[in-house]
Structures are given as C-alpha cells and as structure tokens.
Structure 1
Amino acid sequence: MVEDPVIGLMRILRTALGLGATLWLVFAYPLKTGREDFVLGKLEDLLLGCAIVLVAGVVGVAAFILGARAPLGRLYASRLIWPLRALGVIFLGAGMAWLMLAFLRGDIPVGQWLGGHDITFGLFGKIGGTIISGLVFTVILIVGGVACAVGLVAALCFTLFALVTGLNSCFRTADVHELLPAFISPLLVWSLAVLQFFDDADVAAPAAVLTAFLLGGPVSVTALSVWEVRRLRSRYGITLRSALGR
C-alpha cells in the first residue's frame, strides 16, 4: 500500500476550503430560510453525500474487484475490512446518539424499572425505604439525565466528525486500492452539484456567485483527482491497468 502524505494533505485542504467557502457564502449573504432549516439542510446534504459514496463505493469496489485478475481480486476483497470499519464507526456513533436521545425522551422506561424494585433492598423498613428509594431514584434521574445529555452531544460530534472524515477519504477505499478515491470523489461532488442545481439556493446571492460556488467544488475536486492519478502513476507506477493486472 502506498500512502502519499502530499495527497492526504491536499484532501484535507480540499475539505477545509469547501467548508470555508460555505461559511463565507453564509456570512456574506442573507439566508433565505432560518438558521435551523439551513443547518438541517446541510446535514441532509451530508447524509445524502454519504449515501452516494456508499452506493458508488459498493458498485465501484465490486466492479474493481471483479475486473481484477487473480490473485489481485482476492487481495482487494481481503482489504474491505477497512471501509467496513469506517462505516461501522458511523453507525456506532449514530446508534449511541439514538440511545442517549431515547433515554432523555423517556422512550426507554428506566423509571418504571427502577420504580418496581426496592433500591434499599429492604434495609430501612417500608416507609424509610420508600423515602430513601425516592431520593436515590431522583439522584439517579438527575445524574443519568446529565450523563445522557453529555453522551448525546459527544455522540453527535463523533458521528459528524466520522461523516466528514469518511467523505474526505471516501470511506477509506484507498485501503482497497490507491486509485479508488480519485475515481469516486468526482462522482460524489458532481452528483451533489446536479441535485443542488434543481434545488433552491440557501442564500440570496447573485446568480454569478451561486454558479461559481456550485461549479467550483466539482471542478476543483475533479482537477485534484486527475492530479492524484497522475502523481500515483509518475511517482509510484500505479495505473488502472496494473491495478487490474492487465
């Protein structure tokens, strides 16, 4: 496996510039909708991008493995553990966020379970045990609520970070082969650009600015992908023909 630090740095800069351009557009022009709707819309775009990468990744990686000659196909298939782990981390974070939210909303009846048991184990008699059990129950609810709230924030931040890094690395498809992120990234950004073209703009900006913003990401990502392919070929001799064993 070839890990080029320059390519990794360029991917990080690409993501940072994209986030910076989005923030500049938001602060430079008024929003057409409320801030909450804008944030939710961006989260939907992020989830949609993950779905596109997931579908494109499954199709692309499957075609890549099936198109490779033996024993390369089996070798690439054995490396699928890393993309699967990247997906598993996201599902784990989302599951923890759902669990914490369910506790806070009372969807999981912890109170009923505790209320049906004598927390003092009968050590203080019926009346005293009831009072102490009530106090202990209240403390448990307060401490548990605070812990769940902290856990919810941590799980959301963790999931958001995993989503962003997953998109930046195309869910670690480079661990299967170095060329895969360069092929999948343009498909992702152009798909999102087409969807945004038919959607209403989030900010009241001039048409020229919106067009430049809409096309800037796909064009720059495509150019970077072409550069990655050329760098891998010129520095490491990695080509699509050699990757498939042709």
Structure 2
Amino acid sequence: MCVPDVTQRSVFRPSLWRGGFFVWLFFCLLIPPVLTAQAANLKPVNNAVGEVSGFEMPTPGTYKLMHIMPAGDGLVLDTDGKRKHLSEFTKGKVTVLSFIYSSCSDPAGCPYAYLVFHQLKNRLEQNSHLHGKVRLVSLSFDPKRDTPEVMKLYGSGETDKKKWVEWKFLTTGSVTELLPILDYYGQDVFRVRNPVTKQAVSGFSHNLKVFLIDQNGEVREIYSSAYLKPDMVYNDIITLLMEEKVKLQ
C-alpha cells in the first residue's frame, strides 16, 4: 500500500484535512512505495516512514501549532461494549488520536502507529508531571471485525499496564455510525478489491493520519507517516501543555 509522504508540518503547511485521497493517489502514481526500516527501534533511513530528510525538530514552546478545527464527535464503543461519545475521549487532556484496524499487516500503517504510540506512552510515563494530562486513542474503522472484545485483545498489552497515561481502544457499533466520523476527520478508507472479480477482499487501503488534539478539543496537528515520530509528537504535546501553563518539572 502506498501512503502519502507529506513533507511539511501544519505550522508551515496546509492541513491534511479533506481531499486526502487525491493527494494520496497522486503520490502513489508518481512515487514508488517507501520501504520501512527496522521499526523495532524506530531508526528509519532518510525518506522512509517516520523520517523527513533535513528536518530538525524545534524545541518545545518555541513554536505555535495552528488551530485546525474542532475535534469531531460521534458514537463509539469502548472495550466493555459501552456506548460513548467520542468527545469524551478528546477533551480535558491532550489527546493523540489514530484510526486503525486490528488486522492491518502493512508495516507502514497501523502497526507503525501502534509502535509509535507504545514508545510515546513509555516516554510520557517517565515524567510524573505528565501523568493524567495526556491520553492516546486508537479508533477502529473495521467495526464488523473489530468488536469491543477484539479491541480489548488488540490493546491488552497496553491497557493492562499502569494508567498514568491512558490508552483507549475504541470501535463503533456499525459502519453507519463510523462513516460520519471518518468523513469529518477526512480519513480516507477503501476496501481492497480483487482486480479480476472486483469483489471486496480482506483488508483496507488507507492513508495514515494521526491527530493531535488539545485539552479544549481542538485539532492542532495532523501527522502523516513522514512526521509520525515519538519525539516529534512528544515535543508537540509539551508545547500544548506549556500553552496552558502546566507545570512540567
């Protein structure tokens, strides 16, 4: 699967919100699929997933992230099968939201996002001043297979740990409930089809997007695979908390 490799951040670039499919298709036609390096230690080579050649991360607090749009709402299910509003998971704390599906096998897609979240969570939990101020959210776009029970299993390695930094694994009750959420966030998802029979087969094609949401429920950054790095997201989180005068040391 080809994913877009956008090379400018929202403080310098137009938002990835809306119209993402055409950008994605353009890059897929002109640029060969990127090869991921060893994701286990998150040290990709230049131009691979999570790496932008020549870009240096600014110091937290020395830049400002744009107010892109209010975070979207919709009905979701938690791992206990309880119906909730997505807004319950996008306000009150700095939130990092990703759209995934549990059976994704593309190393540049959902597994990569999971790895970034895992490393980000570990780093956040090393600073006691950040406990209770940040949450991670993984929302499935495959409600048929990703039931609450499946999502609980998918996130069992994280949800069973200490909850100094919570990581929520959510799904929806139906495609009907899911589509307005995906549409609002501009998250493009397509069923993979057999080129001969045109019948849908297992799996989805999607461009990886991760959303950074501030404590007031405003989307402040949208990461493509090119900028989805634990250190970069961490710096942006600190920058948002500094805006709110949160004690960090």
TM-score by length of 1: 0.29
Bigger radius of gyration among the two: 1
Query: Higher helix share goes to which structure?
Result: 1
TM-score by length of 2: 0.29
Relative contact order (alpha carbons < 8 A, sep ≥ 6): 1 or 2 greater? 1
Query: Higher strand share goes to which structure?
Result: 2
